[in-house]
Structure 1
Amino acid sequence: MAELIGKTISKYRIIERLGRGGMADVYKAYQPGLDRYVAIKVLHSFLAEEEDFVGRFEREATAVAKLRHPNIVQVIDFDHEGDLYYMVMEFIDGPTLKAELRERSRMGQPFAPKEAARILTAVGNAVDYAHRRGMVHRDLKPANIMFTGEGQPVLTDFGIAKIVGAKRYTVTGAVSGTPAYMSPEQGKGERGDERSDIYSLGVILYEMVTGRVPFDADTPYAIIMKHINDPLPLPRQVYPQLPESVERVILKALSKDPNDRYQTAGEMARALQQALVAPAVPIVTAEAPARPVVRPREAEAVVPTATVPVAEKRRLPLVPLLAGGGLLLLALVIVGGFFAIRSSRRATPTPPAQVLATSAPTATSTPTAIPTTAIPTTPPDTDATVQAALEATQAAQPTDTPTPIPPTDTPTPAPTPTPIVIVVQPTTPPATPTPPVPEETPTPTTPPQAGLRGKILFTIFNDYSGKYDLYIANIDGSDQRLLYEQTRQPEFRGDGLIVANGDGLGWDSLVVMNIDGSNRHNITNHPEDKQPSWSPDGVKVVHSSSQSGRRNKEGNPIWNIYIQDDASRQSEARALQIANYQVIGRYPTWLPDGRIAFNGCKYWTGEGGNCGLWAIWEDGTGVSQLTNASNDLAVDGYGNEIVFMCDQRDGNWEIYKANNVGGGITRLTNDPGIDGLPTWSPDGKYIAFLSTRDGQWALWVMNADGSNQRKLFNLPGPMGPDWPEERISWWAP
């Protein structure tokens, strides 16, 4: 269709051809009316003659146009001129993941696991979003993942996606998909379902972190047969630096039987996030008194064996190679191997944050803080372990067991020489090897706190996304794990249900979820909705929002208080009003007595001024001023008392306590570091808060009167510049 270049289709002038697919050509075009470039997908003319293909194309356009997700290309228009059928999409001016993989292969540098997780988590959440709306892609591959100018992945070309409904549509006599990324059931000619997409995501992840696809051959048919019949080459045999926790995600995603895979793309994305929070087994290094067994010499330039991998790496055009990522990953993986991974209902927990502090950005920006000498390995390196590591591959039908049991007679797949470094010790392994704890293993510096129990929610600023991620841990820092990315300002309900601010990944409004992150759903409609808080009966949620679009004379958004009367479903919230005046305020919290506390000024009288914390009943009556400093923030209540933070009263962020009717203000902390975001313990005996008084962000606790202030654990990362908008929450069953 080269003759289309320079011509105009409807209101789009064709500029150049971008690519050619099995059912359409894709062109770059210019839309003069909106002064923008678009991508136009034009159906091949020979297909337009067949009624079933035309109908298929129309269904695709209609279905994809309904998708609204930041990581899915947006369909703008669909039409035809004569027998020329086309679909218009937003134009993504960036490379494909295929191009990035090709460049990294040339450089001998696969994706760092954290960067691969960032990309695959975004794509996985996009796929999960489409699946929940009845659409299956069936041709996921690196060529269908593009990057925006900001490096964000966008899933393109739902070229063979269809609505999964009562009537099943198939391509007569054809196998849909690309052989290298095709699931076994698709290779057998079966239609496949959402789990076929999960298999394809697993192949993409495998290629990103190892630098090669799991199955390759001279012909497409031979590749398909390998997917169906051959055991999976273990990723860590291809790339030994890969954390075992990431390998387990790949193994499960690439199970031959769809029932053994993750059942949703969202589940896989969450598992991948957790794998990077706490890798289960450290990198095997060459430091030990035993004799190392090393694979071919030509691999030595790729993987150093006795020192930390070099931090300086060449950056690719749009998807950075994470300078220092090798150092950070090594430290994180080794520390993760020191602790057994506790089980949870949906994700692998993290080790105590006191140890995870090595993964904070400060450690990344200071590589010299990480020792360059080899670090002792944690797992037992016995003869049997070495033999299994060299010869094991995945069984044809793996089970749900986290560590796959490999067949003993499977040859080691090694189409190209790859580095493997294994330490051998002549000892007899137990039946089920368990990593022993070396004498020099660091232990948490803070012992369990007597009298403290329950769970704590907190957030960490993610340098990659520029947003906050939600974490959960036991109050002593144990069983710490990432609960959900791009989620902030959480609060527990009395039964453990969580309300929070969804801040990306298709969740751009307030969300409610179970304590394990499951059954997540939106309850409001506006991305401007923030800082939710449960009513005492757990039925309603109060929050602030700038959804009105109004601005003050300085041009800043005006924030109002809203009440969502039924937090079990998504609906419009009502504005909190005093008579006919819509209350202006932020940081609302529902107090135990049923009133709503918030930070604001006395605007409803037309006077302004008198700024501080106020309390009001939800019907707009009984308004009263509790405190009188404009930066009194982050209020939390227990009984007839409140705690809050302020940086104006004493020139530094400190924590204060007052009674809930105004007055009786007492300063509880006094330290040059930041003390903020206080929350009561469920029994009212303690107050937890965040502090930098030891030089990094950590969770601290004190008695309700401010005495016995002590650190519980370091946070696994930093807070952002807008940390005062965050919230921590403490709950116990």
Structure 2
Amino acid sequence: APARTLALGIRAALTLHTLPQAGAAVAATVPGSQVLWAEARSTDGRWLFVTYDELGARAWVAATAVKLLGEPDALPAMTLETAQADLAARASATSQPAGQAATAGARASLPGRSRVAQLNVRGGPGTDQPVLGQLTADQAVAVVGRSQAGEWLAIAWRQGAALEDKGPGWVAARYLEVTGDVAGLPILAQATTGVPSASSGLVGLSGKIAFQTAIGGDIYVVNADGSGSLRKVATGLDPAWSPAGARLAYARWDAPHGVYVLNLATGEEQRIATTERPRGPTWSSDGTRLAFSHKTGSYTCRITPTGCYPEDVIRQTFGGQECVDTPQGRYCISDFPEQSRDDTGLAQVTLADGAWLDLPSEQSTQSPDWRPRSEEILYRGKTGLQITAPGGATWPLVDNPDLSSPAWAPDGQRIAAQIYLHDHSDIFLLDAGGNIQQRLTAPASSFERAANNVAPTWSPDGRTILFLSDRAGAWRLYRMNADGTGQTRLLPQALADLSLHYDFAAERVASWGH
């Protein structure tokens, strides 16, 4: 079978072409969240030949519009002549002209026409998005998609060749006359502005949410439905509710440092483990044990353009010499600044007697999360996601260093995690085997800075995901359904006066308990 590599969109919408050329006909416009499989590349590496739907539809996407989870050179190269022959063969097989989408899976656009004298075309579905231009009265357009609720429509929009593949323009649906079924158009993004909710609470949600304002900052507790008061309960980092929701675990680096458990009913705080720089406490399903990462040692390396390496490794690269002459000049080991870094490992503590057990792990560990009703613990290692267990061994689940902050769903069959994509992070849904199933967050606009969506955590019923985002500028807590729909601010009034910080250090910002 031909090699395939997963490609993830880094824009709100992706324009797919029939040939690997900017001037080629548009085959389809798909959401940036859509899963693409790259099967080949153009000879210059600027285009990828991808499969983009369940029916096997194929087209070309600009390589700069996606993040390829693999090496581009591993894909077979396809010349323009071969691509043209392939397009002609697919068009002939489906009895379509070669300039049109050559698969049954491609969605046709709908004809539209402006109803008003001046209609703003924006870079995304919202009045907070930049104005790209205007439509005049009766100006005809091709409608290629819609927002989730349909209040905004995406149109084919070009403002010079340089912007050709940066995505569609967006107009308010009420001012556009469309011929055809708008509901059949693909959903390309969620609206960034709309009618405010009448209630600041989250109707239908239950349980308690604990969250931190920063690493080592204040930890607060609030009811998920907005009832009751917001309470500061501790200081520390990486809060985690116990399975029954009666106790809260967290780490603390200030003296006396260690892992702590707070009984919310009595207010009693107990240090259950004394260790250096603990992170990410996570509970066993029966609530009797806590696992966490901690500092196990340190080492010194020198920062080079390709990474931080010990001196002996650099010296070996230099052929056993202290300095080496290159076409760019003379480099010596002493030219590279020294940096001290920590080795980290995983440990488990039994709450009843404080018994300590070291867990098998890599020397670089982050974000441990205990799988529900299992002894397996998921964590981020040096090269991707790993799984370990008390008395077992550590083994790789996903080999991708851009994956971080994994969180098991309560059913133990799904994983929410964030992936770094070019210049921002988004949240994805994985199955228990580590395979990407769905992209849950995506940029709202192709023309503005892509927002970061990080630190996912699940509601106790597995129906909702809480996460942190800077989509509105400042870091705020958001919630969404488990399928990525219904993204909205968490308790905007109750949390309005709090300032939240995220340091991209794989911190667990929040935990949702019973």
TM-score relative to the length of structure 2: 0.48
For the pair shown, the structure with the greater C-alpha radius of gyration is 1
Specify which structure has the higher proportion of helix: 1
Specify which structure has the higher proportion of strand: 2
